[in-house]
Every structure is written in structure tokens, then in C-alpha cells.
Structure 1
Amino acid sequence: MSESDDGGSRRGALIGLLVAVVMLAVGLWLAHDLTAASKMQDCLMSGRTNCNVIEPAR
């Protein structure tokens, strides 16, 4: 095996790892966003008119 073959193999593995990390990050963001939307819908469906999130004072 030459050095160029080994570098190409590592490059492909790193690209695959990068794609997997990006997909994981997008999946986590999407799950968080869908959870927030679900909570808002639950609040609105219960008949409340003020469903804003109250941030605690710091």
C-alpha cells in the first residue's frame, strides 16, 4: 500500500464521520423544535390564551 491509498481511506472515513455528526445535530435540533411546538399546541388546545414561556429573572 502506498501513502496515497491510506490518505484517501482516511479522508473518506472523516467525511463519513462529519456527515454523521451533522445529521445527529440536525436531528437533535429538529426533535427540540418539534417538542416545543407540541407543548405550544397542547397549551392552545387546552383553551389557554397566554402560552408564552416565562423566563426566570436573573
Structure 2
Amino acid sequence: MDEIITLIINNGSAVALLIYFIYKDNKFTDNITKALTSIQDSLEIIKENTVKTSTAKKDVKKPQ
């Protein structure tokens, strides 16, 4: 039992540090996912507007 307590005391800071880095990595990954999703949504809007614009230009008759 004393060995387990000593093990927890000696490795407590290492475990806490490991948990901190896991949490930090998770938050960082979440922020990247949100940013990339936002960029993807913006690109889809730009693509839709480009398609609408090019379709509208094709519908306009060129003067002769």
C-alpha cells in the first residue's frame, strides 16, 4: 500500500502534466476544426456565387 501511495505522489505531477497536454491538444484541435469548417463554408458560398455569376453572364446576349 505504501508503494502505491509513493507511486502516486512521485508520478502525480507527471500525470497532471499529461492530462493538461491532452486537454490543450483537444482544445487546439477543436479550434482548428472550427476554423477549417468556417473556411469551407465561405468557399462554398463563393463557389455558389461564382456559378450564379457565370450562369448570368451566359444568359446575357452579346451585342452584334
Match of 1:8 in 2: 21
What is the CA RMSD across the aligned residues, in angstroms? 1.6
Scaled by the length of structure 2, the TM-score of the pair is 0.69
Contiguous gaps of at least 5 residues in structure 2:
1-11
How many Å separate the matches in 2 of 1:7 and 1:48? 64
Q: Offset at 1:48?
A: 5.5
Q: Indicate whether 1:38 and 2:51 are aligned.
A: yes
Q: Considering only CA atoms, is the larger Rg found in Structure 1 or Structure 2?
A: 2
TM-score, normalising length from structure 1?
0.75
Aligned residues: 49
The structure in which a higher percent of residues are helix is: 2
Which portions of structure 1, spanning 4 or more consecutive aligned residues, are displaced by more than 6 angstroms?
A: none
Does 1 or 2 have the higher relative contact order (CA < 8 Å, sep 6+)?
A: 1
